[in-house]
Amino acid sequence: MAVLEIKKYPEKILKEKAAPVMEFDSELQMLIDDMIETMYAAPGVGLAANQVGVSKQVIVIDVSSKEEQSPLIVLINPKIVHVEGEIAIEEGCLSIPGYITLIKRAEKVKVTGLDRQGKTVEIEGTGFLSRALQHEIDHLNGILLVDRIGRLTKELFKKRYLSADRQA
């Protein structure tokens, strides 16, 4: 296993829709293991494959630090099939280090996808798990949290974040 480089905004792959996984081979299993190790090393609670430069619909999530009874989740080709409610909470992203902003998301989601063996799974998430599922699935669709903020806030973000990045 290896800790992979997490791609940072504004890298192009973060804005691209990831390709569906078709083969459940050893290469996919190694990617999943590396993503899990990278997520824990970051440290983060979720990671999408395109955040490590791989255009595949794979996410890993572990919110056990916030919700004790939540196991490690590996989802392949995930889709949100049902949403309920709405709540706005501050959110950050490993691909935009140091930036936290208020994001509106569904309070509850139902997601379908495949596990690492290719079996169909369905996950219902509320609270922090709901937010993590939505955040990581957004990544697979080329959507960053800054795409979910207002135009003026986004312009301010771009000016501050990109100028701070150039100074580093």
CA distance 76 to 81: 15
CB burial of residue 127 (10 Å; 0-12, 13-18, 19+): middle
Catalytic residue among 67, 107, 136, 155: 136
Task: Count Cβ neighbours within 10 Å for each residue of 94-107 and write b for 16 or more, e otherwise.
Answer: bbbeebebebebbe
CA distance 72 to 35: 12
- For the question of residue 136 being annotated catalytic, the response is yes
Q: Which amino acid is at 66?
A: K
Return the active site residues. 136
